[in-house]
Each structure stands twice: as structure tokens, then as C-alpha cells.
Amino acid sequence: MSESVEKIRRFGAVAAQTEKLPYSIEICDVRAHSLERVLACALNAQLGRAIFHAAQKEHPEQRILLRRGGRTIADSGE
């Protein structure tokens, strides 16, 4: 099997695992009111909150959201 095919297969496995992680920690662009990027995904709320707090320290000037699906659990802008 070629190296490029193996890389694609591994990426597919990672994407499938990411879909099973319900919590996301996101940086939002305040001016554009849109998602800038997803920093991380987590399996449970405790880990999600830990990553959220670490992201707040790492990016103090940015708006950070902890979300589960469409629901916002925590917002650094509040």
C-alpha cells in the first residue's frame, strides 16, 4: 500500500473519532461574529472545561466558546 493511501486512511480514522467527541472549544471572530477555528474537541464536559480554561489563558484577547453541538456551555465573552 502506498504511503499517500495510508495517510488518507489515517486521516479518515481521525475524522471519524472527532465526530464522536461532542464538546468543541472554538475561537470566534468577534468583529465578524463567526467561527475562526476549532481549537480542540473533547469527550466529556470536564475535559472540555479544562481545555476551555487553558485556551482562555493562551488567547486572552480572543473570544473562546465551549460548545456541545449547537448549545454554548461557556463563553469567555460573558
Q: Where are the domains of the chain?
A: 21-75
Our CA angle for 28, 31, 36, nearest 5°, is 25
* pLDDT tens-digit readout, 14-63: 455 556 899 999 999 877 678 889 999 999 999 999 999 999 999 999 99
CA distances from 33 to 8, 27, 28, 37 (A): 33, 11, 7, 12
User: What's the predicted TM-score (pTM) here?
Assistant: 0.72
Q: Are 31 and 20 in contact (CB under 8 A)?
A: no
Separation between Cα atoms, residue 43 and residue 68, nearest integer Å: 10
Grid cell, residue 75, equals 463563553
**Separation CA 1–CA 32 (nearest Å):** 44
